[in-house]
Amino acid sequence: MLINVPETVVADALRGMAAAHPELTVDVERRVVVRGDAPVAGKVALVSGGGSGHEPLHCGFVGPGMLDAACPGEVFTSPVPDQMVRAAAAVDSGEGVLFVVKNYTGDVLNFRMAQELAEDEGVRLATVLVDDDVAVSDSLHTAGRRGTGATLFVEKIAGAAAEEGAPLERVESLARQVVGSCRSFGVALGACSTPAKGGPTFDLPPGELELGIGIHGEPGRERRPMMTSGEIADFAVGAVLEDLRPSGPVIALVNGMGGTPLLELYGFGAEVHRVLSERGVPVVRTLVGNYVTSLDMAGCSVTLCRADEELLRLWDAPVRTPGLRWGR
């Protein structure tokens, strides 16, 4: 691994982020990343966070049009409440703060505690829980569905609304609408390796794949012999559509888990479009790349978001972050 020692991986990455992105304020010691112009007067602030190892989620999505701050935990470990309270205080302009929380037990508990502490300090807060993964109803790390690719959609669309000056109640409502409009399914072709362990986190024999994994390598629905890209798309998109049941157009995220090259992801994206076309589902936007990753895991996930006119407009709104950038 391209590291010094496992104990400093997150701190080293934050130091590198600070050097590469001077438009951000990166507190390496306290583990908080904040947009450089925060707090923005008259603007609702968005704060998210989670374990490191999923980059560019979440720190890579800090900036105009998305998050105001992010709290990185240790690898695959929730950040602590003090980080979240510190982030909320740094970005609160008086218009309120929205916590975006993936449905993993540690994240849920720590963000809940942070909300109580921040509210005691006078910050007006709302929380939205992301639980879009259709693969399993409960997992090793959650009660209920896991939060995965829909997190990007929530942060982008709610972030755009906040950038336009929408009040906290509206930003929260849009975020909840996005969660209800998104479903995801992930596939592992190979296990990821954590810096602490230095090797695979689970056993996946050569020639097999795991259908329905989470972003920490949690087991999925079933293990099968290796399938073609088209067969995986048939299975994954079918599972998403069975739950989502869109009656109109969708935005598609074809997401790499960290160890699959873009050449393969674009090919898989073509198969995703084929399946959606065969099912009569129009695709109005497609994003392909590594956005919600699991270290060096080989594999991919598909997220579909039902796109009404307002959600599509906010999706297209300008964004300027290290991990996502378009418009102005």
Mean pLDDT per 10-residue segment, the chain (328 residues): 96 98 98 98 98 97 98 96 98 98 95 97 97 81 84 98 98 98 96 86 87 84 94 98 97 98 98 98 98 96 98 98 94
| Residue among 21, 58, 141, 216 flagged as catalytic | 216
pLDDT of residue 221: 82
CA–CA gap between residue 7 and residue 9 (Å, rounded): 6
- pTM of the predicted structure, to 2 decimals: 0.96
Structural domains present in the chain: 6-180 (3.40.50.10440), 182-316 (3.30.1180.20)
Q: What sign for the dihedral angle of Cα 182, 80, 67, 118?
A: positive
CA 136 distance to own-chain centroid: 18
Q: Could you give phi then psi for residue 3, rounded to 5 degrees?
A: -140, 170
| Residue among 54, 58, 141, 273 flagged as catalytic | 54
**171 three-state secondary structure:** helix
CA 53 distance to own-chain centroid: 11
pLDDT of residue 139: 60
The Cα diameter of the chain in Å comes to 55
pLDDT of residue 91: 98
Helices (H) and strands (E) in the chain, counts: 8, 14
CA atoms within 13 A on the CB side of 268: 30
What 8-state DSSP symbol labels residue 95? Answer: S
The yes-or-no answer on residue 141 being catalytic is no
pLDDT of residue 218: 76
Q: What sign for the dihedral angle of Cα 207, 212, 218, 221?
A: negative
Kindly compute the dihedral angle of the four CA atoms of residues 102, 106, 108, 111, in this order, to the nearest 10 degrees. -100
**63 three-state secondary structure:** coil
Residue 288 CB contacts under 8 Å (≥ 6 apart), including other chains: 254, 262, 265, 266, 269
Percentages of the chain per state (helix, strand, coil), in multiples of 5 = 35, 25, 40
The yes-or-no answer on residue 273 being catalytic is no
